[in-house]
Structure 1
């Protein structure tokens, strides 16, 4: 691949990132991405044989940003002497914060119906995130039988909380946008109460 090809490929992905940020997943048509990148409507097919491969490349940018966000939160919590429980608290808050700040990208990243068949690169990006959580859950519950299952349950709750907030369902049910009481309940349910 030439430098020009790499540049055009990167422009298409950057255009997609901008579109999903401003218009959500529904803004990610091939023609719209090409128009936004300033190329012909057929150009994306030259670099991404399928629409799903382009969407996966855009989602990979989101996973990269989420990885950086979580790594920063974890480093801060660990740097202040935080134990595994407090580090998981920081990671959970960073995850919810990322979802709230990037609703379009967050939706795309977890829309495996859109990304199916394009997941090898995404797995390389997302599995290490999950394993970070698994390691910390193992520290909190060293005698637990299956830390991966416990982590998946915790993550499912966090993801559901993030998604319900995005959809406005939490406000409808609780009368508030405040996720703090729900976050505490999720963490306490999966990790046990935090030391006060």
Structure 2
């Protein structure tokens, strides 16, 4: 690793640490430079814009999320089962790394016409994840309409990309509303003073798993064995 590459990676490392511990509000250029132990002007030597540095930080998040998707779906063969595992991994990442999750999908902050020459634009990190979801939906539909499969859906269906977008929005909404405590309130599972869920006694993972299943039922129909 060259000295220039090392300094560049230190800035990205510093940004990742800040967003993980303090959220997106901490990602000013001066604070990132201070965290990296370099001068205030150093980031401009490696990133043409603030957005370019934020995009490099967000790409780390997408790489981590992609690895989690791969691990979560590795032992599952069916398209619907993979979608369920993907949904659980998405929500798990959102709640575990709230600051990074918020940054990753703020494209109005990240997209820049002056991104680093020779490096992939952020869209090259985000689009494959969405396309993977749309591909699984298309595969599931093909599986359901097989001649030997009962309960095939009737009528015309929206394109897999539209259904994927709606499912993604649903999952993202679950993540945000859960992080704000809104879903726990309406589901009667708000944390008690001791940190233990009230209501029906289900822990957080069980509740989120049920919400993922409900989202899949809403967008794909109930699965018929």
Q: Same fold (TM over 0.5)?
A: yes
CA distance in 2, matches of 1:94, 1:182: 13
Provide the rounded CA distance (Å) in 2 between the counterparts of 1:8 and 1:175: 49
Range with greater deviation from structure 2 (115-124 or 105-114) = 115-124
* Contact 2:111–2:122 (CA under 8 A) maintained in structure 1: no
Is 1:152 aligned to 2:147, yes or no? no
Runs of 5+ unmatched residues, structure 1: none
The partner residue of 2:219 within 181, 190, 193 is: 190
**CA displacement 1:92-150 (0-9 Å, x = unmatched):** 11111111111000000011121132676211111111111111100112364411111
How high is the TM-score relative to the length of structure 2? 0.79
**How many residues are paired up?**
191
SS of 1:179 mapped into structure 2:
helix
Counterpart of 2:60 in structure 1 is: 61
Residue equivalent to 1:17: 16
* Mapped pair 1:170 → 2:170: no
How far did residue 195 of structure 1 move? 4.8
Helix, strand or coil: the match of 1:40?
A: coil
Contact kept, 8 Å, 1:60 with 1:121, in 2: the verdict is no
2: CA distance between counterparts of 1:30 and 1:46?
A: 12
Larger RCO, structures 1/2 (Cα 8 Å, 6+ apart): 1
Superposition pairs of residues 30-179 of structure 1, within 5 angstroms: 30-77=29-76, 82-117=77-112, 121-142=121-142, 144-176=157-189, 178-179=207-208
Residues 174 and 189 of structure 1: is their aligned pair in 2 closer, same or farther, counting only changes over 3 Å? same
Provide runs of 4+ in structure 1 moved above 3 Å: none
SS at match of 2:122: helix
CA RMSD of aligned residues (A): 1.8
CA contact (8 A) 2:11 2:43 kept: yes
Determine the C-alpha separation between the residues in 2 that align with 1:76 and 1:99: 22
Compared with structure 1, are the counterparts of its residues 167 and 35 closer, same or farther at alpha carbon in structure 2 (3 Å cutoff)?
A: same
Corresponding residue SS for 1:121 = coil
Q: Which runs of 5+ in 2 are unaligned?
A: 146-156, 190-203
Normalized per residue, which structure has more helix?
1
Larger radius of gyration: 2
